[in-house]
Structure 1
Amino acid sequence: MSLDLQLSTSLLFFIVPLLFFFLIKFKTIIAHTLCSPKPSKIPTSYPIIGSYFSILANKDHRLQWISDIILSTPNLTFTLMRPLNFHTIFTANPANVQHMLKTNFHVYQKGEKSSSTVSDFLGNGIFNINGEKWKYQRQVASHEFNTRSLRKFVETVVDTELNERLIPILATAAANKIVLDFQDILQRFAFDNICKIAFGYDPGYLLPSLPQAEFAVAFEDSVRLSSERINVPFPLIWKIKRALDIGSEKKLRIAVGKVREYAKKIVREKQSELKEKSSLDSADLLSRFLSTGHSDEDFVTDIVISFILAGRDTTSAALTWFFWLVSKHPEVESQILKEIGEKSETVVLYDEVKNMMYTHASLCESMRFYPPVPMDTKEATQNDILPDGTFVKKGTRVTYHPYAMGRVEKVWGKDWAEFKPERWLDINEVTGNCTFVSKDPYTYPVFQAGPRICLGKEMAFLQMKRVVAGVLQRFKVVPAVEQGVEPEFISYLTAKMKGGFPVTIEERI
């Protein structure tokens, strides 16, 4: 029995003296629940323990379980009863999402419960706070996403990483018939990119030797272990473990320590660099933050960690699932190759990448199925009522679910299960030219919406389209799995392909 399960059981008996009575009374129900991990309706809730046994039975596929329940409800909303009367509301209703992210934005914030859960890792970074600190970080960061910066990002940072590192690695793999973990390769690519553009620092994580960087392992562990805190039935469990410095909490402390030390090294090197300059001639994000006068090293370190998370994990997750889907749909790949060929021989220029409409649509369609952030949680700061009539008590967590929202038949049609980039395009029957038709951001909140909408949305699309063009123009990416085997979509703070994405690379003739 794992340490987590031992603590869970001990805590149950400590807090709930009558639990034994419930175990006897409902033993038949419990056995049925554990043998049926994918119920299609809202799980039964019992006094004190709530839906604990359903939560336990579905812990290994919680994302899909929650999605299935949401999609089985009339208003795409349900309340999960956790032990000790803690409630979490899950919704895929666009009206509710707009209410949360825009109309009543001031009510739905990063609450104390949510923030404290990941505070050891993200601290006071932009994704974990509200108020003036959040506004300040967003205001300073916004300067990095103007047209000039985006053009520089594509034509220097991304192109250099693509042509000098990614392409040679793929060429070597093709020549030697090497199986690569493409998820790992894409994470390395994205990590180098975000460090270069945001911090003016090249970690060289995608060098030909594919170095086993201690930081990257620690970062991955920090994301996974912080996510496990969110899903634990009793928050008191991880708090006790942290106080005792045992089990997963000890591992998290060690991992976060390594991440923070690495981030502080970046900050200190940038501070030394800026001291030697008479003026700010560097346009990177970290220079801007340090030049505004912030000397709190921990705060700036939090900023660095948050932007690494955003730049490394989200784009690499989106590209991983994109290449998987394209490998299963050769007709989509053919259309993308046609578009690449029509733009130019090398597809380098910013405007050419920006105007790749079919590729853009394909990426949107891929993220409809596999959003990089499959769930996002807010906390109500006061009593409220959602547009569908759901009452929200102050302090309740409300989670909107982009993964489920991409599967709503009323929104996407009866063919929602088909990978169909054309659903995002208005195609002129005479000329064959296509125009991208965006969706309501509250129906498709893959990049959030409202005041917290992702600042790096356009940068992410430009990076992804450049990678798609550069890779598919020269190579065919072939999954190295048995026929019919589907990869598993898992969710930490961001999405992953469980076990990586093994592929072989083939040169196009």
Structure 2
Amino acid sequence: MLNIEISSWLLFCLLPLFLLFLISFIFTFRSSKESSSEQLPRSYPVIGSYLSVLANKDRLIQWTSDIVRSSPNLTFTLRRPLGYCQVYTANPATVQHILKSHFSVYEKGDIFRATLSDFLGDGIFNADGDKWKFQRQMSSHEFNTKSLRKYVETVVDTELSQRLIPILAAAAADKTVLDFQDILQRFAFDNICKIAFGYDPQYLLPSLPVAEFAVAFENATRISSDRFSSPFPLIWKIKRALNIGAEKKLSSAVRHVREFAQEIVKEKKQELKENSELESGDLLSRFLSSGHSDETFVTDIVISFILAGRDTTSAALTWFFWLVYSHPEVEKGILREIREKSESPLYDEVKDMTYTHASLCETMRLYPPVPSDTKEAAKDDVLPDGTVVRKGTRVTYHPYAMGRVEAEWGSDWGSFRPERWLERDAQSPGKWKFVAKDSYHYPVFQAGPRICLGKEFAFLQMQRVVAGVLRQFRVVPATQEGGAEPVFISYLTTKMKGGFPVRILERVIN
């Protein structure tokens, strides 16, 4: 009886909104369908441009990219329901404005934190102010040159040689199909847990154990991300309060994720209690030894680092292997470089792989692991192009769109061409020299004070995987022999819809 009363009350509250949507839909369906994806979306009273958002809900990144690239100054304002606005930009000057020169004005903000708080809590990706500064300062010690060398020569290479390569060899011998996206996520997850927490989850074992945590993490990421698409935040908040629909699934997924993270924290606390020498051994030990023993806060930190270490590098590598297969001339260049470095020490081998590095940068230009990122204005401001931003307005910079701006990348921006990152080294004829892009033109790793601390480690890890895998194997897409382009989707990070099924073939050395 109580459930019936609640449902009736909810229907009564939302009925006016549903009627408004229905009337608007009847009168605007035809025009919204006929309008070009490159035109500014139509806006209506109360609901703003929600009909256009709804029509493009499965390709929001591509849709907003088309609009922002065709807009004056590479910036446009999307009208949200109830009068809220969201500014999208692919303008490097504006990106520098919000990420550096006016950094104090543009925070994660209340909307972002509230939307992701159940999942990420006060972790570094969801924090502002002193909580962010503390986590940033503590994390910075983990990514010095000495640590990077240790990670590559121990953790990454051990995971590569003892787990990833044997699994690929077995798949090649048995002619089985692997979901390479899943394999790379398992690889990255084991790595980040070992490096940051001193814990080995053993997800990349030959048996490929059912990863219940990984499923829960994926669901938590997807549903939390879907909250941003809700026309009215009140809708998902009511569902959360009533524990129904997607919010019920999110609650279950988050509970599973937090229990996993809490167990890691408890085990580390016990280790520190029994052995004080572990205090500087890994990132989690450093946080716990700093005096922050609040288990909830430290759990938030663990979850954020899993998100950073598991999803971003695996996403970049997934798209990389597909692009390399589709461009045999690039694969030949990478193989040539791998064979030239084969006698070098492992750390130096990957550190100096210029062409491979360029290929990874080119991959992330086309398929950035985080295709858009949003800040919230803490006070009124004016962007460099004159766009007025009111306090509380969300401003989104768009790496996916920025990698497709013709004025920046040329008329061949749609081509996968690592050479655009290279020039011939005048001091070493025949050698390539890497030419980096300004981080405000290429904000794949963010920029300014919040620039990714793990950027160098991410490249070293990815280059080591590329060298280890391509030296021995060919990675061949199993669907239509790679002829069909995978479907790009994005939650908090980029994914291939349905995974990346591949066949592994032993490489024949000519």
- Give the TM-score taking structure 1 as reference length: 0.95
- 2:403 — aligned with what? 406
Q: For 2:439 and 2:15, locate their aligned partners in 1 and report how far apart those are by CA, in whole Å.
A: 45
Determine if contact 1:144/1:283 at 8 Å carries over to the other structure: no
Where in structure 2 are there 5+ consecutive unaligned residues?
1-7
- 1:249 — aligned with what? 247
Q: For 1:91 and 1:18, locate their aligned partners in 2 and report how far apart those are by CA, in whole Å.
A: 30
Q: For 1:8 and 1:410, locate their aligned partners in 2 and report how far apart those are by CA, in whole Å.
A: 50
Give the CA deviation at 1:434.
Answer: 1.1
Letter of the 2:374 counterpart:
T
Determine if contact 1:124/1:299 at 8 Å carries over to the other structure: yes
**Given the superposition, is the C-alpha separation of residues 101 and 264 from structure 1 closer, same or farther in structure 2, using an over 3 Å criterion?**
same
Q: For 1:9 and 1:410, locate their aligned partners in 2 and report how far apart those are by CA, in whole Å.
A: 50
Deviation digits for residues 57-105 of structure 1 (CA, Å, limit 9, x no counterpart):
1111111111111111121111111111111111101110000000000
Deviation digits for residues 371-413 of structure 1 (CA, Å, limit 9, x no counterpart):
0000100000000010011110000000000000000000011
- 1:416 — aligned with what? 413
Give the CA deviation at 1:348.
Answer: 5.2
Give the CA deviation at 1:120.
Answer: 0.2
Where in structure 1 are there 5+ consecutive unaligned residues?
1-5
Deviation digits for residues 226-282 of structure 1 (CA, Å, limit 9, x no counterpart):
000011111111001001000000000000000000000000000000001133465
Q: For 1:356 and 1:54, locate their aligned partners in 2 and report how far apart those are by CA, in whole Å.
A: 44
Query: Does 1:349 find its partner at 2:346?
Result: yes
Give the CA deviation at 1:30.
Answer: 1.3
Letter of the 2:373 counterpart:
D
Query: Does 1:172 find its partner at 2:174?
Result: no
**Given the superposition, is the C-alpha separation of residues 390 and 215 from structure 1 closer, same or farther in structure 2, using an over 3 Å criterion?**
same
**Given the superposition, is the C-alpha separation of residues 27 and 418 from structure 1 closer, same or farther in structure 2, using an over 3 Å criterion?**
same
**Which aligned pairs between 1:77-226 and structure 2 lie closer than 5 A?**
77-226=75-224
Identity %: 69
Deviation digits for residues 301-359 of structure 1 (CA, Å, limit 9, x no counterpart):
000000000000000000000001000000000000000111125x6521121010000
Aligned pairs, number = 499
- 2:228 — aligned with what? 230
- 2:319 — aligned with what? 321
Q: For 1:259 and 1:131, locate their aligned partners in 2 and report how far apart those are by CA, in whole Å.
A: 25
Q: For 1:395 and 1:373, locate their aligned partners in 2 and report how far apart those are by CA, in whole Å.
A: 23
- 1:3 — aligned with what? none
- 1:373 — aligned with what? 370
**Which aligned pairs between 1:296-315 and structure 2 lie closer than 5 A?**
296-315=294-313
- 1:486 — aligned with what? 485
Q: For 1:296 and 1:281, locate their aligned partners in 2 and report how far apart those are by CA, in whole Å.
A: 17
Query: Does 1:425 find its partner at 2:422?
Result: yes
Query: Does 1:444 find its partner at 2:442?
Result: yes
Letter of the 2:420 counterpart:
R
- 2:453 — aligned with what? 455
Q: For 1:164 and 1:8, locate their aligned partners in 2 and report how far apart those are by CA, in whole Å.
A: 55
Determine if contact 2:279/2:286 at 8 Å carries over to the other structure: no
Deviation digits for residues 445-480 of structure 1 (CA, Å, limit 9, x no counterpart):
000000000000000000000000000000000001
Q: What is the RMSD of the two structures over their aligned residues, measured on CA atoms?
A: 1.8
**Given the superposition, is the C-alpha separation of residues 269 and 432 from structure 1 closer, same or farther in structure 2, using an over 3 Å criterion?**
same
Query: Does 1:498 find its partner at 2:500?
Result: no
Letter of the 2:390 counterpart:
K
Give the CA deviation at 1:415.
Answer: 1.3
Q: For 2:57 and 2:35, locate their aligned partners in 1 and report how far apart those are by CA, in whole Å.
A: 9
**Given the superposition, is the C-alpha separation of residues 186 and 10 from structure 1 closer, same or farther in structure 2, using an over 3 Å criterion?**
farther
Letter of the 2:149 counterpart:
R
Determine if contact 2:279/2:285 at 8 Å carries over to the other structure: no
Determine if contact 1:378/1:399 at 8 Å carries over to the other structure: yes
SS in 2 for 1:395: coil
**Given the superposition, is the C-alpha separation of residues 36 and 262 from structure 1 closer, same or farther in structure 2, using an over 3 Å criterion?**
farther
Determine if contact 1:93/1:405 at 8 Å carries over to the other structure: yes
Give the CA deviation at 1:9.
Answer: 9.2
- 1:336 — aligned with what? 334
Letter of the 2:379 counterpart:
Q
Deviation digits for residues 163-200 of structure 1 (CA, Å, limit 9, x no counterpart):
00000000000011100000000000000000000000
**More displaced stretch, 281-290 vs 332-341:** 281-290
Deviation digits for residues 433-454 of structure 1 (CA, Å, limit 9, x no counterpart):
1111100100000000000000
Q: For 2:10 and 2:329, locate their aligned partners in 1 and report how far apart those are by CA, in whole Å.
A: 50
Determine if contact 2:279/2:289 at 8 Å carries over to the other structure: no
- 2:16 — aligned with what? 14
Q: For 2:206 and 2:191, locate their aligned partners in 1 and report how far apart those are by CA, in whole Å.
A: 16
**More displaced stretch, 410-419 vs 371-380:** 410-419
Determine if contact 1:11/1:237 at 8 Å carries over to the other structure: no
SS in 1 for 2:329: helix
- 2:65 — aligned with what? 67
**Given the superposition, is the C-alpha separation of residues 19 and 188 from structure 1 closer, same or farther in structure 2, using an over 3 Å criterion?**
closer
- 2:264 — aligned with what? 266
